[in-house]
Amino acid sequence: MSTPDPAPVPTLDPQPSMRRAMLNGASWSAVQKWASRLAGTASFVVLSRLLDPSDFGLVALAASVVAVLQMVTEGGFSAYLVQAVHLGQKTISTAFWTSLVVSVVSAGLVVAGAPLIAALFHEPDLAAVLMVLAAGVLVTGFTSVQGALLSREMKFRTLAQQQLVASLTSTVVALVLAFAGAGVWALVAQSLTLGVLTSVLLWRASDWRPSRGWDRAEARTMLSFSWKVLGANFLNQFRDRGEQFIIAAVGGAVLLGYWTIATRILQIIMELTVTVLQGVTLPVFARLKTDPERLRRGYRKVLTATAAIVAPIVVVASQTSGTLVPLVFGSQWQPTAAVAGIITLSGFAWAMNSFDRSLYQAFGRPGVDLVLSAVLAVVQVAAVLVFAQYGLVALAVASLVRTYAVWPVRLAVLKRVCGLPWVSYAGIPAVVVAAALSGGTMYAVEAWWLRETGWLQSGVQVAVGVPVYAGAVLALSGEVRAFVREGRSAIGGRLRRSRPPVTTTLPQPDSERVR
């Protein structure tokens, strides 16, 4: 008995209120990201004190292998489903069955190759961790299409609520097991709980169900787009995971554990700021690509707002990392403090480049992203190969230089392919100047306060540096001032709408009261 076809997937409407849709999506995404990150940071602090660096390094290494195969399983079909103007049941079902079959094969490869991978990295315990985490590959194949359809329909509230529930639940599981002495398996259980619970919630939220058909012509059409997205994803994974593999090969799981903690601050910053918008931009840009002027204005506003938010956070985190890392994560992580301060400075450039892929995919040009990803992957892996042997500080400096060196190249390619003029970036210089003034002020406080270190010094730095940034950016940037006015107006409007109506009872005349 075949599954009846559900209602057709709606065609993309190029003229909805994109500002309202994007703000709504970003708001719910922010709620989910911030709440999850707050809980995740608290749990990470606890786990970092309960577990050894080798535990974090072991799971990071296993997760690197699994993440590559999860990316292969998804196959780029999600991006195709989100940006396609028309979708039918046959197309979606073909994407689903293809992802599911690939996930089964990939999970089998992980289980079969786990002993060999463990021997390659001289980590005997890695084999068992890999075998258990292989279940995450199956989950990806089972849920990627459901998530893509909800994103296409811009149901960001539903997605955010599901991810929040799954994130908080998996955090509780990890903490309970860590206190029970489960060691590395607390982190493994956290990863599996997150994936399985997300899968269950996605299937409950989505009305779509696959039919039994698989169409070769539809698969061929999707693959012509998706293989380029997949290739770019693979190269990005090769770049990021290759970095971890090389560090593990040079210094083992302990050194990788230190690097994982050192990069954690930057990851948290990106998750709380940039990734709030990343999940929203592809469906929005896909609708605006037929209206270049609206797209240009929207892209400039997104960039300027992101720059204004990320810049002071990056400066503060970098300046206070020497105090922040050991006091939050524990004294055993002191060697990572200087490394974290250097790496965090690259966050601004990363933030400014975070929406490129959404534009390439929305314009149907994933091949450009593929070529660009190949170049960047080669540059990063080469830098890690050269500098990892000199220590994590040298590697962090090399990563910082590379990130800012390739930024102009990425801007030029984006301009040529998507036709975005240089004026789209006109709001960034004022933010950079304000951030530089703030950073210089905080550095001066640190240099002057030579005898004291710790939270008191860092608190004074923040108390001085943040007002300097706020005053400078408001004085230099009219766009930021406009954002502030719009924010105040929006908050005021919501407060007025939330207030109950005031009814006034007029006093009755004496004659009426007598009656």
Q: What angle separates helix 156-179 from helix 18-50, to the nearest 10 degrees?
A: 0
The half-sphere exposure of 166 on its side-chain side, counting CA atoms within 13 A, is: 19
CA geometry: angle 404, 408, 414, nearest 5 deg: 125
Backbone angles phi, psi at 426, to 5 degrees: -70, -20
Nearest to 234 by CA among 62, 61, 72: 72
> In the prediction, which pLDDT does 492 show?
61
First to last CA, the chain: 77
Q: Are the beta carbons of 192 and 135 closer than 8 angstroms?
A: yes
Cα torsion for 54, 57, 61, 62, to the nearest 10°? Answer: 60
The span from the CA of 208 to the CA of 274, in Å, is 30
Q: Report pTM.
A: 0.65
Q: Are the beta carbons of 373 and 366 closer than 8 angstroms?
A: no
Angular region, 452: left φ>0, alpha ψ -120 to 50, beta rest: beta
In sequence order, which residues have a C-beta less than 8 Å from that of residue 466 and are 6 or more positions away? 312, 316, 438
Number of other CB atoms surrounding residue 259 within 10 Å = 27
> In the prediction, which pLDDT does 23 show?
58
The span from the CA of 27 to the CA of 215, in Å, is 38
User: What sign does the CA torsion over 135, 137, 139, 142 have?
Assistant: negative
Q: Specify the DSSP class assigned to residue 391.
A: -
The span from the CA of 339 to the CA of 358, in Å, is 30
Q: Are the beta carbons of 23 and 154 closer than 8 angstroms?
A: no
Residue 141 is which amino acid?
G
**What is the chain's pLDDT, residue by residue, as a tens digit (515 residues)?**
344 444 445 455 444 455 555 556 556 666 666 666 666 666 666 776 677 777 777 777 777 777 777 776 666 777 788 777 777 888 888 888 888 888 888 888 888 988 988 888 787 888 888 888 888 888 888 888 888 888 787 777 788 788 888 888 888 888 888 888 887 888 888 888 988 998 899 898 888 888 887 888 888 888 878 778 877 877 777 777 778 778 888 777 777 878 888 888 888 888 778 877 776 777 778 777 778 888 888 888 888 988 999 999 999 988 888 877 877 677 777 778 888 889 999 999 989 988 888 888 888 788 888 888 888 888 888 888 888 888 888 889 998 999 999 888 888 888 888 888 888 888 899 999 999 999 999 888 877 765 555 677 778 888 899 999 999 999 998 888 888 887 677 666 555 655 555 444 444 444 444 44
The span from the CA of 472 to the CA of 283, in Å, is 34
The span from the CA of 126 to the CA of 174, in Å, is 19
Q: Are the beta carbons of 489 and 495 closer than 8 angstroms?
A: no
The span from the CA of 470 to the CA of 308, in Å, is 9
